[in-house]
Amino acid sequence: MPAAKPPITLAWVEARVREHNPEIAAAEAAARSARGMALAAAAWPAPGLGVTWEDFPRPGFAPGGAARKSLDITQEIPFPGKSLLAWRAGSADARKAEAEARRVVQEQVFMARQAWWDLVVASESARVVERAREAMTRVVELSGRRSQFGQVGRMEQLMDPMARMESASLKSMALDLRQERRTAEVRLNALMGIDPAETLGEPEASVPSESLTLEDPSWLEAGLDDSPTVAVALGDFTLMQARRDQARAGWLPDFMLQYSAGEMRDGSRTGMAMAKVTVPFVWFWRPAGSSRAATADVTASAEMLRQARLEVRRMASEEISRLGIVREQLAVFDGEIIPQAGKALELAVSGYQSGSIGPADVLTAVRSYVSMSIERLMRTAQMGRSVAVLARLKGEKPGGEK
């Protein structure tokens, strides 16, 4: 029998996701690539170097018999400031890629936290169901013993098949929970960049971390632009502005310089220098169209930025409210419901054993214990999910569980 896996924690899962998740690695590599392209964008066009042989005899290829040989050097020079604009656009693209990488990190960690709470709920629910099954097993034994000695009335004659059916139902529920746990385990493995077929240890019992900074709505005013979602939209807006400036620079001419050093067949030497300038405003509709399109892109990006800010405000406000409600509900469950459900389960079994509790009451107590215990787990998980949503929206690394 294979050795049991050591228990795992949420902090361990997050660390593995940040270090080994393929999407995070790809996004970070793309950001490094964009940063390299920003430097390349500022470079002038490469100079040209050529050799020319003129007036050699035909047919055939005989450079040695050319009347004139020359060495040509050319260099295209953008209008002053164009290279700076290209560098600004490249840098803006790099900042957007870095913001996108940060957003991917937050998104993948968020997905891992969701899968973690699925794993916790399935594992803890399985323990709840197992306790209920143990209680029903005891009830089945008592019912069978009573039936064997004829100590039951007509109503209690139903208890034996009903108890066995309830026990089988709990067994089926346990199998469903096993599958839910496996599904969460596979998702976590994929997010951590390991073989999905790997098995994980049991999740350590956890309580969602303190989230006072996340629940404080002041960050929606002062730190909204630090949100990864908003930062990507803001990066796109900055990039569109830089590209608009580049498009407007299309009205400005570029230059080309050329120098040729020639040697004639008789040994005399000559030189030639040439300067050219482009005239972009002749075909004015090209720079005009590019400038108009770039301006429209800036307007569209500005609206997307405004939408991103509104969406983060909406989602954060909703989760802050939900988190407060769930915290109050958990207090009710922990202080009132769960202790009473556990007590009712114990009293139901002992009462049935003594004959003071009827079959219907026993089944009700067992079902109530299971449903209320799982409901409490779902509330705990919802609290953890809300913390994860706020952490993703704000761009803050979620703290470890207490």
CATH number attached to the domain at 10-394:
1.20.1600.10
Residue 330 CB: number of other CB atoms within 10 A?
A: 18
- pLDDT in 10s for each residue of the chain, 402 residues: 456 678 899 999 999 999 999 999 999 999 999 999 988 888 888 999 999 888 888 777 777 778 888 999 999 999 989 999 999 999 999 999 999 999 999 999 999 999 999 999 999 999 999 998 888 888 777 776 665 555 555 555 666 777 788 888 899 999 999 999 999 999 999 999 999 998 998 898 667 766 778 888 888 888 889 999 999 999 999 999 999 999 999 999 999 999 999 888 888 888 889 999 989 888 888 889 999 999 999 999 999 999 999 999 999 999 999 999 999 999 999 999 999 999 988 888 888 777 777 777 888 888 999 999 999 999 999 999 999 999 999 987 544 443
Token output for 332: 């009710």
Residue 50 CB: number of other CB atoms within 10 A?
A: 11
Q: Residue 384: which of 262, 214, 260, 249 has the closest Cα?
A: 214
Q: Residue 238: which of 350, 49, 94 has the closest Cα?
A: 94
Rounded to two decimals, the pTM is: 0.85
pLDDT of residue 156: 58
What is the rounded CA–CA span in Å between residue 230 and residue 356?
Answer: 64
What is the rounded CA–CA span in Å between residue 210 and residue 380?
Answer: 13
Q: Residue 111: which of 192, 211, 232, 198 has the closest Cα?
A: 192
Q: Residue 124: which of 181, 171, 175 has the closest Cα?
A: 181
Q: How far is CA 84 from CA 40, 55, 279, 281, 400, in A?
A: 12, 44, 21, 22, 45
pLDDT of residue 400: 41
pLDDT of residue 386: 92
pLDDT of residue 59: 78
pLDDT of residue 159: 67
Residue 261 CB: number of other CB atoms within 10 A?
A: 13
Residue 55 CB: number of other CB atoms within 10 A?
A: 12
pLDDT of residue 204: 85
Reported as type and span, the H/E element at residue 34 is helix 22-41
Token output for 239: 């990039």
pLDDT of residue 354: 76
